[in-house]
Amino acid sequence: MEIQTKDYSVQYDATTATVHFQGLLLLNGTEEYAPITQLLNQLIEQQLSILTLNLQQLRMLNSSGFQMLSKFVMKARQYEDIQILIRGNQNISWQTRSLQNLQRLMPAIQIELID
């Protein structure tokens, strides 16, 4: 599964159960984020044991995008058997400031900030 534009791409790798986000995600509102939301929701409904969101190459994410991620995490809480791992880049400032806030929504979420 893949969503791609000139500014960003979101790709799901089924062999590793990883969603790779790349580029600049600066969409306007929930309507424009709907394809990504649908992809993420489909994946958690498959009842995978683990799902990784790799954000290491996502340079920018606006507030609408972070809201989309937050809603996804809140939905994932309903699935007790799924483990969510978020891989970020410690050299991207929005990730070091914001990703830890997702643990408030789902304490079991694992967040790795990698160099």
pLDDT bin (cut points 50, 70, 90) of residue 92 is very high
pLDDT bin (cut points 50, 70, 90) of residue 98 is very high
pLDDT bin (cut points 50, 70, 90) of residue 46 is very high
What is the C-alpha separation between 40 and 93, in angstroms, rounded?
A: 24
3-state DSSP call for residue 21? strand
What domains can you pick out in the chain, each with its CATH number?
2-114 (3.30.750.24)
Length of the chain: 115
User: Six-digit token pair at 72?
Assistant: 């996804």
List own/partner pairs for 9-13 with CB under 8 A and 24 or more apart.
Answer: 10/36, 10/39, 12/39, 12/43
